[in-house]
Structure 1
Amino acid sequence: MSSIKKVIVVGAGIAALSFAKTISENCQVIMMTKKQFSSSNSMLAQGGIAAAFSAQDSVQQHVQDTLAAGCDHNDDKTVQELLLLGKHLVKELVAEGCLFDLNEEGLPQLGKEGAHTSNRILHAGGDQTGKALVQFLKSQLGSHIHLYEYHHVMDLLVHEGKCTGVVWKDEKGHVHTMTADAVVLSTGGCGNLYEMNTNDPSVTGDGLLLAYRAGAQLVDLEFVQFHPTLLTIAGKAVGLVSEAVRGEGAYLEDETGRRIMEGIHPQKDLAPRDIVARAIFHEQQAGHHIYLNIHDIPHFPTRFPVIYEMCLRAGIDMVSGRLPVSPGMHFLMGGIKVNEHGETTVQSLFAIGEAACTGLHGANRLASNSLLEGLVLGNKAARRIEHMSKRQKAISTFPLQEVWSVPNISEAQLRNWMTVYASIVRDEKGLQTLLDKLERVSFQQINVKDITNEQIELSNQWSLAICLAKSALLRTESRGGHYRMDYPYRDDVLWRGKQIVHEKGHIHIMENERISAKWNVYS
């Protein structure tokens, strides 16, 4: 029997590519993505990648900033280990020739973003860091890495508690199975559960539900990060305005020019994202229009070329220097529960990137830690799989689920409910209303050969919405990205109490509450 291990990677963002770059030639890697290779959140990442790169900075200070932003909900050991290895891997990328923006001394130019106490954000192409990293990592891949576009993974194969492969649909709708020694989920989060979001349209929570139905645990789903500044025209988001813009001196103001973050937080416009997003939300609830004032940023078109072109396409008067903005769903801090190597609670099933919950981000992700986490966890998962033993015996054939239950609800309606009841601020009444509405949805039975990719995505989103609503109901406190109007922070501090009365704890969606393969029944 061949000693070559076979690994299936679902997704093609920075975490998947870091995995593929790291894994040895003793592994054959099949990378499947349901859309084009370029369809990922990593390609859209503007801000940068955080690392304690300068002599004036330290990993320990990066750790402290990460813990402070995460509201004492992080896994301290994981934070220490990931940020230390992250610094090493970023330095490797620089040495290998990744085209980060450089200063006059020829060293990486370091920017600053929300809740960071030092300049430690490396950028590439101004505001095209994710795209540059993806393209660089892809250029490093060996011949043992095989990438397949338009391979929509719809389910996992599990045999005797071990993940043994995937079920997928091709472009023509034909259903196939493929076995492997390990499966790695790198599918991103679930931004498209909300009307206003920064995510690629392909990011619909698929990986979380794949793992969930296979028996893995989901954790901390209630912690949803809303980015404060989405460029918004006539109530519709047209794109993200990176936090790096505020790091360069932009500030938030209302229609009168009043700076809205004055007196809210010591870091003002660079406060943690949950604080800034709620500040904007409350100002909008009071009837104000919020703008990002970029007057103080010299050479804006060259420093932020993608954002500048986006504004021009949207018809923004750049001479005014005021960009209309609103918060939108950006990142899921929770996800598939994994250990420090990306291993889930199901044998031979791994999760990396935003789909995974490592404990790095806690209740609120520190800006630009996500690309770093993807880089590190992809590397660690690859090292782990290299040392796994190859499966020694052939797997028996698997009966496919012939009929799937698809909810009779439109994606637009689901997004509306999530935005109304489980958005930047929540309460028990709204969350229970959301859960009741979701559970009253009827279903249609569709044969596996006839189900469309859109129906698969909708079913995943509906299931994940239920899990998120239940998690949000269970956490009867306000912490980070989860703000309960009926359980505000201690001492009537609206934005963040320094003392949290509740002990650190994670809310798991346990296996005994797992959604069945039909997607509409809790077992």
Structure 2
Amino acid sequence: MTNTDVIIVGSGIAALQLARQLQEHLNVIIITKNKVKDSNSYLAQGGVAAPIGKFDKVELHAKDTMTAGCNHQSEEAVKNVIRDGKRIIEYLINDGAPFDRKSNGDLALGMEGAHSMARILHSGGDQTGKYIIEYLLDALTEKVRFVEKELVYELIKNERGHCCGVKTMKGDGSIHRYSAPHVVLSTGGAGSIYSLSSNAPTVTGDGMALAFLAGAALSDMEFIQFHPTLLSLGSTSGGLVSEAVRGEGALLINGSGERIMEGVHPLLELAPRHIVAEKINRERIEGKAVYLDITPVKDFETKFPSITKLCENHHISLSQGKIPVTPGCHFTMGGVLTDEEGKTTIHGLYAIGEVACTGMHGANRLASNSLLEGLVFGERLANHLVTFKRKTSPFTGAYNVQESKGNIGEITFDPTELKERMMRDVGIIRNEQSLTRHLNWLNAQSLSFHTGLDRLSENEIQTYLMWVVSMLITQSALLRTESRGGHIRSDYPGENNSEWFKKSILLINDNHQLRVVRDEQHQIEIYA
């Protein structure tokens, strides 16, 4: 067994920010199931939002965040994240982070949907994630060790129920163990359990499933954001077409050249994402193709080099000024329930980034807030762990580990079928009939919530973890009998504030059975 101070599972922006802040104080191992740069953060075309403009304020950014999230969040928590984020972004700017600038040297601040101000910083036009990830990687020292191509498939707990390590599996089936007093999940969301997704193929909700199976509480799993504009390739998608394209003036039109957002929302193409996605989805259900008319965007190829390359790779000619688009799964607002530092309901286990439910995004994430959240919680958790180190004795690795037991059942279905069913029955528009149909299919697989996965292959483990996350999303979506943010039900088309305002659905694995708690203010104990 390999011992260290901190294990980080995942290698996105939150993970690397945490590692950067910890490396002078603690030994860190970052474990990723693929390559370090295979993350949603690296793929992020959009930028990072922060109120650093001359006339912008923390309060304005917070108000936009609350509005986009349908006021499902804590306003105080949102303001605190944005205030910390503003400070961190200002530090990164002074440190030489590669943010785009105008010809006069000023920062080029862009506009995106549901923002009231131009406050989006970009790098390399539409390559913000790539630039920031490489910037953070360059700042790491040898005290941060990377372990690639190992799938973390179980959280190890000791006799006191504290998380004290992880089990991993390599492609050859060999099993490895790593121990640490602090285990951090930074595995991203669950977008790729849907057949149409902007996410990296590896982002299938592993961290959420691992935390749930270990007994941690999850929250808000029904709130899934579908990005309005993925490149449409008929029945499949080719990748993300950033919201920044609409921020630069691109219009949404149908095959007849009619603007589809007129009369739908005052902000037209820059309405909150769930509204734009629902409208495009409705047009496509009616058999109408939807396009981004990019003719109003000057110097498109220069401003959006990666989108230009994406279109070229799929033989979409930009000379006609139209990019075919379709909605697809983009972001998971819910996840592992944490406090303001990233602590979960299990001692020694933490969660940061998209895998976590921090109270920042509410029912629908505001564009470009995710990279900001990752930077903030990476720093906050680092401060907590460094302080924790000063108050405790060094870790010796002397834990009595509780070995996993139980039989989950046999994996007999293809993950492709699960993805297609998720898109059809638990997708942009849900109802009791579709959700029940999918829940019945999941139950018919005769699987259970156990952690005894050692006998399975790596592919079978991945498929099983996808089943767990699919079950959590579906159960939550069936229970919330209203439409709010990214959760849209045709049989309950409006918000039900008398029953659901500020109320969250918590999911807990209680003795291998799903326990549901309806909680108003996340009043559940978070451990140090």
TM-score, normalised with respect to structure 1:
0.93
Pick the aligned partner of 1:463 from 458, 462, 468: 468
* Residue 169 (structure 1) shift: 1.5
Contact 2:41 2:133 in 1 (8 A): yes
- Which string of whole-angstrom CA distances, capped at 9 and with x for unpartnered residues, describes residues 22-58 of structure 1? 1152210010001011110001000100000111111
Tell me how far apart the structure 2 counterparts of residues 462 and 434 of structure 1 sit (CA, whole Å): 11
Counterpart in 1 of 2:239?
239
Tell me how far apart the structure 1 counterparts of residues 94 and 379 of structure 2 sit (CA, whole Å): 17
Tell me how far apart the structure 2 counterparts of residues 500 and 454 of structure 1 sit (CA, whole Å): 44
How do 1:81-100 residues align onto structure 2 when only pairs under 5 Å count?
81-100=80-99
Counterpart in 2 of 1:302?
302
Query: Would the alpha carbon gap of residues 480 and 448 (structure 1) be closer, same or farther in structure 2, given more than 3 Å must change?
Result: closer
Alignment pair present for 1:506 and 2:491: no
Counterpart in 1 of 2:17?
18
2:115 match: secondary structure: coil
Alignment pair present for 1:319 and 2:319: yes
* Residue 403 (structure 1) shift: 5.7
2:20 match: secondary structure: helix
* Residue 409 (structure 1) shift: 0.9
- Which string of whole-angstrom CA distances, capped at 9 and with x for unpartnered residues, describes residues 307-362 of structure 1? 00111111112111110000000000000000000000001100000000001000
Tell me how far apart the structure 1 counterparts of residues 116 and 226 of structure 2 sit (CA, whole Å): 21
2:409 match: secondary structure: strand
- Which string of whole-angstrom CA distances, capped at 9 and with x for unpartnered residues, describes residues 398-454 of structure 1? 435586534311011101111111100111111111111110114699995552221
Contact 1:228 1:277 in 2 (8 A): yes
1:405 match: secondary structure: coil
Contact 1:406 1:446 in 2 (8 A): no
Counterpart in 1 of 2:147?
148
How do 1:481-520 residues align onto structure 2 when only pairs under 5 Å count?
481-489=486-494, 502-512=500-510, 514=512
Contact 1:49 1:368 in 2 (8 A): yes
Tell me how far apart the structure 1 counterparts of residues 366 and 451 of structure 2 sit (CA, whole Å): 42
2:510 match: secondary structure: helix
Contact 1:197 1:330 in 2 (8 A): yes
Counterpart in 2 of 1:257?
257
Tell me how far apart the structure 2 counterparts of residues 397 and 47 of structure 1 sit (CA, whole Å): 43
Query: Would the alpha carbon gap of residues 402 and 489 (structure 1) be closer, same or farther in structure 2, given more than 3 Å must change?
Result: closer
Contact 1:112 1:120 in 2 (8 A): yes
Contact 1:79 1:359 in 2 (8 A): yes
Alignment pair present for 1:122 and 2:121: yes
Amino acid at match of 2:421: W
- Which string of whole-angstrom CA distances, capped at 9 and with x for unpartnered residues, describes residues 167-200 of structure 1? 1123432112111010000001111111100111
TM-score, normalised with respect to structure 2:
0.92
Alignment pair present for 1:266 and 2:266: yes
Contact 1:22 1:379 in 2 (8 A): yes
Contact 2:216 2:509 in 1 (8 A): yes
* Residue 272 (structure 1) shift: 0.3
How do 1:170-181 residues align onto structure 2 when only pairs under 5 Å count?
170-181=170-181
How do 1:281-296 residues align onto structure 2 when only pairs under 5 Å count?
281-296=281-296
Counterpart in 2 of 1:439?
443
Tell me how far apart the structure 2 counterparts of residues 404 and 440 of structure 1 sit (CA, whole Å): 13
Tell me how far apart the structure 2 counterparts of residues 210 and 443 of structure 1 sit (CA, whole Å): 15
- Which string of whole-angstrom CA distances, capped at 9 and with x for unpartnered residues, describes residues 221-253 of structure 1? 000000000001122101100000000000100
Query: Would the alpha carbon gap of residues 449 and 70 (structure 1) be closer, same or farther in structure 2, given more than 3 Å must change?
Result: closer
Tell me how far apart the structure 2 counterparts of residues 431 and 449 of structure 1 sit (CA, whole Å): 31
Structure 2: 5+ residue stretches without partners? 515-528
- Which string of whole-angstrom CA distances, capped at 9 and with x for unpartnered residues, describes residues 72-109 of structure 1? 10121210110000011111111111111101231221
Alignment pair present for 1:375 and 2:380: no
Structure 1: 5+ residue stretches without partners? 491-496, 517-523
Tell me how far apart the structure 1 counterparts of residues 223 and 20 of structure 2 sit (CA, whole Å): 31
Counterpart in 1 of 2:221?
221
Query: Would the alpha carbon gap of residues 269 and 393 (structure 1) be closer, same or farther in structure 2, given more than 3 Å must change?
Result: closer
Contact 1:24 1:386 in 2 (8 A): no
Tell me how far apart the structure 1 counterparts of residues 134 and 424 of structure 2 sit (CA, whole Å): 38
Tell me how far apart the structure 1 counterparts of residues 141 and 459 of structure 2 sit (CA, whole Å): 33
Tell me how far apart the structure 2 counterparts of residues 48 and 175 of structure 1 sit (CA, whole Å): 38
* Residue 148 (structure 1) shift: 1.2
Contact 1:7 1:181 in 2 (8 A): yes
Tell me how far apart the structure 1 counterparts of residues 304 and 408 of structure 2 sit (CA, whole Å): 46
User: How many residues end up aligned between the 2 structures?
Assistant: 506
* Residue 392 (structure 1) shift: 6.5
- Which string of whole-angstrom CA distances, capped at 9 and with x for unpartnered residues, describes residues 270-309 of structure 1? 0000000001111112221100000011111110000001
Counterpart in 1 of 2:521?
none
Counterpart in 2 of 1:337?
337
Amino acid at match of 2:503: G
Range that drifts further, 383-392 or 439-448: 439-448
* Residue 510 (structure 1) shift: 2.6
Alignment pair present for 1:408 and 2:412: yes
The CA RMSD over aligned residues, in Å, is: 2.0
Query: Would the alpha carbon gap of residues 406 and 62 (structure 1) be closer, same or farther in structure 2, given more than 3 Å must change?
Result: farther
Counterpart in 2 of 1:454?
459
Contact 1:406 1:459 in 2 (8 A): no
Contact 1:489 1:500 in 2 (8 A): no
Tell me how far apart the structure 2 counterparts of residues 239 and 258 of structure 1 sit (CA, whole Å): 24
Tell me how far apart the structure 2 counterparts of residues 103 and 440 of structure 1 sit (CA, whole Å): 57
Pick the aligned partner of 1:418 from 400, 422, 431: 422
How do 1:174-213 residues align onto structure 2 when only pairs under 5 Å count?
174-213=174-213
Counterpart in 2 of 1:428?
432
2:27 match: secondary structure: strand
- Which string of whole-angstrom CA distances, capped at 9 and with x for unpartnered residues, describes residues 87-133 of structure 1? 11111111111111101231221001000000000000000000000
Percent identical: 42
1:336 match: secondary structure: strand
2:81 match: secondary structure: helix
* Residue 214 (structure 1) shift: 1.3
Tell me how far apart the structure 2 counterparts of residues 240 and 449 of structure 1 sit (CA, whole Å): 36
1:407 match: secondary structure: coil
Contact 1:173 1:449 in 2 (8 A): no
Contact 1:222 1:334 in 2 (8 A): yes
Tell me how far apart the structure 2 counterparts of residues 24 and 219 of structure 1 sit (CA, whole Å): 31
Tell me how far apart the structure 2 counterparts of residues 43 and 506 of structure 1 sit (CA, whole Å): 30
Contact 1:405 1:446 in 2 (8 A): no
Tell me how far apart the structure 2 counterparts of residues 275 and 514 of structure 1 sit (CA, whole Å): 37
